[in-house]
């Protein structure tokens, strides 16, 4: 993962809403006529996506939150890249 990507700032694309859904007992991503139930790690990453903080910031926060998980840059970046592919998020 290169320096350039670490500085990118992800944000949810308009029309997507991320929230906790008690009935699902999970974080979900809502979009027109659909919903994805997110697994725990996806939920944890998207919880930090606020359109302000860079990938590096997000990774730092998550590493603090889950110290037992070790370095997270690769995992987080892979997920974010995938999320961009799916048009859930975009980078500034």
Partner 1 sequence: MGAAQLGFSGGEPLVRQDLAELIAEARHLGYYSNLITSGLGLTAAKVQAFRDAGLDHIQVSFQASDPELNNAVAGSRKAFEQKLAMARAVKEAGYPMVLNFVIHRHNIHQMIDIIDLCDRLDADYVELATCQYYGWAFKNRAGLMPSHAQLITAEAEVDAYRERLAANGSRMKLIFVTPDYYEERPKACMNGWGSLFLTVALDGTALPCHSARLLPIEFPNVRESGLRSIWYDSPGFNHYRGDSWMPEPCRSCDEKGKDFGGCRCQAYLLTGDADNADPVCSKSSHHDRILAARRAADHATTGLEDLTYRNTENSRLFFRG
Site size for partner 1 (CB under 8 A): 15
Angle between helices 40-48 and 55-65 in degrees, nearest 10:
130
Residue 86 found at the interface with partner 1 (CB under 8 A): no
Phi, psi dihedral angles at 19 (to 5 degrees): -160, 165
The one segment of 23-31, 46-54, 56-64, 71-79 that binds partner 1 by CB under 8 A: 23-31
Contacting partner 1 (CB under 8 A), which of 1, 6, 31, 56? 31
Beta carbons within 8 Å of 65's beta carbon, 6+ residues apart? 44
The one segment of 26-34, 39-47, 50-58, 65-73 that binds partner 1 by CB under 8 A: 26-34
Smallest separation, CB 27 to partner 1 (Å): 12
Q: Which residues of 27-54 are buried (b: 16+ CB within 10 A; e: fewer)?
A: bbbeeeeeeeebeeebbbbbbbbeeebb
Q: Which residues of the shown chain bind partner 1 in the complex (CB under 8 A)?
A: 13-15, 17, 19, 21, 23-24, 28, 30-35
């Amino acid at each position: 993962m290169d320096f350039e990507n670490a500085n990118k700032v992800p944000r949810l694309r308009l029309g997507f809403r991320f929230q906790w859904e008690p009935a699902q007992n999970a974080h979900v991503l809502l979009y027109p006529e659909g919903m994805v139930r997110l697994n725990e790690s996806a939920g944890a990453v998207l919880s930090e996506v606020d359109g302000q903080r860079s990938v590096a910031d997000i990774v730092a926060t998550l590493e603090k939150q889950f110290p037992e998980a070790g370095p997270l840059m690769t995992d987080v970046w892979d997920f974010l890249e995938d999320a961009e592919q799916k048009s859930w998020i975009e980078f500034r």
